[in-house]
Amino acid sequence: MNVTGKTKITGLFGYPVEHTLSPLMHNAAFEHLGLDFCYLPFSVHPASLKTAVEAVRALNLAGVNVTIPHKESVIPYLDTVNEEALFIGAVNTIVNREGTLTGYNTDGRGFMRALSENDIFPDNRKVLVAGAGGASRAISYYLSEKAASLWLYDTDKTKLEKLASDLSEIRDNIRILDSVDPGDFDVLINATPLGLKATDPLPLDVSRLSPGQTVCDLIYKKTPLLSGAEKKGCRTSDGLGMLLWQGVLAFELWTGTFPPVDIMRKALLSGMDKPA
């Protein structure tokens, strides 16, 4: 990377940011296209978020991604927030246009692009999303547009009811579950953090799954849920595609250029020590 006085700076605001793979994929794409941009991780303590957002203007950064724990709390500091990010209640991408900061959420569209890339189509299917947190809100907004019915489940009933009630204002296919029988659905998606740690219980009972069902996890790696679903003959998809495609869409917002997706994917896989 050849940083000059003209280089446009993008990056990530998160806390922590040590484990992020985003710099790898964005910098690989900038370099491949010969774009004079670079992407840096910024560790932003929650108490410094407002100052950090003001610094986007002060330092004339081209834009940043926003991750845990700032996706929701960043909204009041922005000048405008686009419609989908407002609905979701979370921003993962900020674009700086001559000092005006606009917030976007590319997670949901990124997830949908990852599904279609894997030939998984929720259209007219019975779809379950386990978890009603930020990631679920982003994907449920788009899934509910396609699915015959979207079934939501979360152990946190307040979040569950809020998501269902918000979605029901724009769709008529939203259902809430008190308990889940995974055998009942065409497409099942884990949007809980269960599976990140080896000691986590399964978010869904895999013994009820059978061939013909599709099971997706938003977690980047092959989780015990996905291994169990594979053994039952289900199609599976992990969260790496969502990570990739939310980045692709953010890159496009900052640069106005569609990036080389395979270069970004390869960079991500190299960061995970996986073969491309």
122 and 180 Cβ atoms separated by less than 8 Å: no
The structure tokens listed for 167 are 């979605």
CB of 180 to ligand NAP, least distance (A): 8
89 and 212 Cβ atoms separated by less than 8 Å: no
| 243 lies in the site for ligand NAP, by CB under 6 A | yes
| Angle CA 236–21–268, to nearest 5 | 55
CB of 228 to ligand NAP, least distance (A): 15
- Among 239, 250, 251, 265, indicate the residue that binds ligand NAP (CB under 6 A): 239
> What is the C-alpha to C-alpha distance for residues 224 and 253, in angstroms, rounded to an integer?
35
| 69 lies in the site for ligand NAP, by CB under 6 A | no
* Residue 219 CA: distances (Å) to CA of 174, 195, 223, 255: 24, 7, 7, 28
CB of 32 to ligand NAP, least distance (A): 21
Helix (H) and strand (E) counts for the chain?
Answer: 9, 12
Contact range with ligand NAP by CB under 6 A, out of 39-47, 121-129, 188-196, 259-267: 188-196
CB of 241 to ligand NAP, least distance (A): 8
CB of 245 to ligand NAP, least distance (A): 8
Q: How many residues bind ligand NAP (CB under 6 A)?
A: 26
> What is the C-alpha to C-alpha distance for residues 214 and 31, in angstroms, rounded to an integer?
36
| 156 lies in the site for ligand NAP, by CB under 6 A | yes
- The three-state secondary structure class of 242 is helix
Residue whose C-beta lies closest to ligand NAP: 133
Q: Provide the 8-state DSSP code for 161.
A: H
| 133 lies in the site for ligand NAP, by CB under 6 A | yes
Contact range with ligand NAP by CB under 6 A, out of 3-11, 154-162, 224-232, 250-258: 154-162
Contacts of 227 (CB under 8 A, 6+ apart): none
- The three-state secondary structure class of 217 is strand
- Catalytic-residue membership of 71: yes
| 196 lies in the site for ligand NAP, by CB under 6 A | yes
Interface residues toward ligand NAP, by CB under 6 A: 107, 130-136, 153-156, 159, 191-194, 196, 203, 218-220, 239, 242-243, 246
